[in-house]
Structure 1
C-alpha cells in the first residue's frame, strides 16, 4: 500500500466515523418532537437507500442475480442490522444519553464471545478474556450507580437489545456474500428495511408517528427535514460509502479499529448539540470498553469476509 493510498484510506475512515457519530445527536430532536423510533428509522433508511441507489446500480453492473444469491446477507442487513437494531437504538436514546447507548451497543463483539463460549464450550484465548473483562468493567463504570445518577432501566434494556441485534447481524453478515459488492449490500439492505418498517407501523405492531412542524436545533428553529437529511445523507449514506472505501484500502481490521472513534465523535456531537456530557468515571469506563473491544478484535487471525461490516458497528 502506497503512502498516498493509505492517506486516502485514513481520510475515508475519519469521514466515516465522524459521519456515523452525527446520527444520534441529530435524530434526537426528531424523537423529542414526536417522531417514533420506527418512523425515524424508516425515513432514514428510505432516504439513505435512495441516495446510495445509483452506486448500487453501478456496482452490480447488471448482475442482478447477485442479490438473489446473497439474499441472506441482504435480509440480515435490512431486517436485523437496520430495522431491528436501529429501532432499539433510537428508542434507547429517547431515554438515555447518546454516548451511553452507543457504548452499550458497541459491546456486540463481547456478546458474541460469550455466546460462542457457551455454545462451543471452548475457552477463548487469554487476550479475548482479558478484553472481555476490560469491557465489562468499563460497562460497570458507564452505567453503574456512581457513573450516572439515574439510569433509565428501560433505556438500558433497549440499548442492550440493540447490542444483541447487532451481534446477530454480525453472524448473518459473516455468511458468504456470493460476490455482492459491499455498497450493494448496504443500499439494498436500507431499501428493504424501509417498507418492512412502514408495514409494521401500518399494522399497529409498533408506534409509527411523525410530526412536520419546525423544531429546535443548534439554538435556533429549523424545518423537520434538516436533521433528517443530516442523519440520512451524512450519518448513513456518506458514512457507509466512506467506511466501505476505507475498508477496501486499509483492510477491515485496521478500519474497524479506527471506527471505534465513532464513540468519541458521537459523544462530541451529543455534547455540542444536546448538552449531554459523560462524567469522568464514564469516560474511564468508555475507554475500558474500547480497549476491551480492541483486544478482542486484535485476536482475530483470519481475514473477515467482505460482506462483514467494514467499519464501525453499522447498526447505530
Structure 2
C-alpha cells in the first residue's frame, strides 16, 4: 500500500505539466493558473485542518542520524514557512510554468528533475552530507545525462530560453528544499503545506494587483484543468505522498518519486503527441538512475552505532514534506 500511494503521488505530480499545457490551450494564462492553483489548494488544505484537527500535530521525525537541530522560535518557524511559499515556491512555480509555455512538457520534466542531484551537491557543500564515491558516480551520470538531454534535441521543440527557465526552476527549487529542511520537522506536514500555499497565493495575488489583475473569465474547460492542477496535482499528490512516506520511509519514497518524469513523458506522448529522441531518452535514463542510486545507498546502509551514524539529508523526502513544486 505504501509503494502504491507513492506511485499514485508521482503520477499526480507528473500529470501537472500535461494539465498545464491543456489549460494553456483552453486560454488560461500562467498568472491565472498559478493564482488559482495556490489559492484553491490553500483553501482545501485549510478546510482539512478544520475538519480533522489531528492533522495539526507533528508525526515522528524520520530523518535518522544524529544531525543537531538548532533552536528556533515559533514565530520564526512560521515566518520561514510563509516565506517558503511567498518567495521560494511562487518563484519556482512561475519559472516552471513560464518554461512550459515555450517547450515540451516531457523535456521540461527531465530538466527539472536534475534538482535532486543539485540538492545533494549543495548539501555536501554546506556540510549536511558527505561526498562518497557512489555520489560522485551519480553526479557524473546526472551531468552527462543532462548534457545528452539538451544536445539531443530533434523530435522535440527545443527552446533555449525555455531550457534556461527550466534550469532556473530547478535551481530555485533546490534552494527552497534546503531552506525547508530547517523547518520541515518543526511543523505538521499539512500545517506547513497550508502556510506555504498561502504565502505563494499572497505573492501571486499582490503581483496580479500590481500588474492590472488576472483574467478569471475562463471557459468550463479552463476551470476543469485548473481544478485538476489544484486538486489532483497539488492536494491529492501531496497527501498521498505523506501517506506513502509514513508506510515506506523516506528513501523508498524518494526512489519511487523518480516515476514522476516518466509519467510526464508518457502522458505527453499519448495526449500531446510529443516525442523524445533516443539520445534524450538515454540522457533522461542517466538522470533518473543517478537519483535512484543516491537514495538506494541510504536504503542499504545500516550502522548499529548511532554515535557513528552519518548525518542524513533526504532530498526526496524534504521535497515532499515541504510540498511539491512545479
| Alpha carbons of structure 1 residues 113 and 212: separation in structure 2 relative to 1, 3 Å | same
Equivalence for 1:227: 225
1:315 aligns with 2:308: no
Residue 76 of structure 1 deviates from its aligned partner by 4.7
Partners of 1:137 and 1:280 lie apart in 2 by 15
Partners of 1:276 and 1:312 lie apart in 2 by 31
TM-score scaled by length of structure 2: 0.81
SS at match of 2:47: helix
Partners of 1:149 and 1:251 lie apart in 2 by 37
SS at match of 2:319: coil
Partners of 1:93 and 1:9 lie apart in 2 by 31
Partners of 1:28 and 1:168 lie apart in 2 by 26
After superposition, residues 167-178 of structure 1 pair within 5 angstroms as 167-177=174-184
Residue 270 of structure 1 deviates from its aligned partner by 1.6
| Alpha carbons of structure 1 residues 175 and 72: separation in structure 2 relative to 1, 3 Å | farther
Equivalence for 2:18: 25
Partners of 1:84 and 1:48 lie apart in 2 by 17
1:102 aligns with 2:109: yes
CA deviations over 1:264-287 (Å, ceiling 9, x no partner): 111122222211122222211111
| Alpha carbons of structure 1 residues 251 and 147: separation in structure 2 relative to 1, 3 Å | farther
Residue 195 of structure 1 deviates from its aligned partner by 1.9
Residue 40 of structure 1 deviates from its aligned partner by 1.1
The answer to whether the Cα contact below 8 Å between 2:28 and 2:222 also exists between their aligned partners in 1 is no
CA deviations over 1:129-162 (Å, ceiling 9, x no partner): 1101111111122111455565211100110111
| Alpha carbons of structure 1 residues 208 and 163: separation in structure 2 relative to 1, 3 Å | farther
Equivalence for 2:140: 133
SS at match of 2:161: helix
Listed as ranges, the gaps of 5+ residues in structure 1 are 1-7, 215-221
* Between 182-191 and 284-293, the greater mean CA deviation after superposition: 182-191
TM-score scaled by length of structure 1: 0.83
Residue 36 of structure 1 deviates from its aligned partner by 3.2
The answer to whether the Cα contact below 8 Å between 1:69 and 1:178 also exists between their aligned partners in 2 is no
* Between 229-238 and 172-181, the greater mean CA deviation after superposition: 172-181
* Between 274-283 and 135-144, the greater mean CA deviation after superposition: 274-283
- Tell me the matched-pair count: 295
Residue 81 of structure 1 deviates from its aligned partner by 4.7
Partners of 1:155 and 1:208 lie apart in 2 by 25
Equivalence for 2:197: 190
